[in-house]
Copies of this chain bind each other. A is one copy, B any other.
Amino acid sequence: MSPERFSRISQLLDQRQHDLTLCLESVHKNHNLNALVRTADAVGIHEVHAVWYDQQFRMSRGAAVGTEKWVNVIHHDGLAPALEHFRAQGQQIVVTHLSPQAVDFRSIDYTKPTAIVVGQERRGVTPEMIAAAEHHIMVPMVGMAESLNVSVAAAVILYEAQRQRAAAGCYQRPSLPESERQRVLFEGGHP
């Protein structure tokens, strides 16, 4: 690996936000999966979780072209294992939900360990996921459209998290476990 590449990957790893994650509940269009993983990568998310209820829709390997090597996509069969994972990591579960009970997405403290959940293109998030979440948020809208595209909604929320974390100095504090750091550096050197 060239010194330039080593230093680029090293810098990337220093800025990864180990305690921030994005959870996709049955999101299944390839252009959305691709956009979502790219955005996650761009704000320093190292691990994206995908929850599936239907094997048919499992993310096809090629979906997130270009970045999947740099963002780990973890697949779960159903909700329980995903929730278990977030809880084991001490992450607050923040679910996007277009309801009157939802609060403005900017009112959440994203510097805490957080899993942000977005839902399926047509049906949105499941009632079970809503019940499991600590916070229900929405991105305000003043027009006639009833919802935003899922990649768009996720990006607006993730960049609010980025803003808060940048202000709190989180990108200056490496948080990735050393073993994961070594694994990525090793694999990144062997394309």
Contact = CB atoms under 8 A, between A and B. Distances in A.
B143 A35 contact: no
A21 interface: no
Contact of A39 (B34, B66, B106, B148): B148
A145 interface: yes
Contacts of A12: 142-144
A27 interface: no
Contacts of A142: 12, 15, 42-44, 171
Contact of A35 (B40, B41, B140, B152): B152
Number of copies of this chain that the complex holds: 2
A163 B38 contact: no
A107 to B, nearest CB: 13
A41 B144 contact: yes
Given A39-B148, A152-B152, A106 B70 contact: no
A-B interface, 8 closest residue pairs, ranked by CB to CB distance from nearest: A41-B143, A35-B149, A42-B141, A152-B155, A70-B144, A15-B142, A38-B145, A156-B159
30 contacts: A12-B142, A12-B144, A15-B142, A31-B31, A31-B149, A35-B148, A35-B149, A38-B148, A38-B149, A39-B148, A40-B143, A41-B143, A41-B144, A41-B145, A42-B140, A42-B143, A43-B141, A43-B142, A44-B142, A44-B143, A66-B144, A67-B144, A70-B144, A70-B145, A106-B163, A148-B155, A149-B151, A152-B155, A155-B156, A159-B159
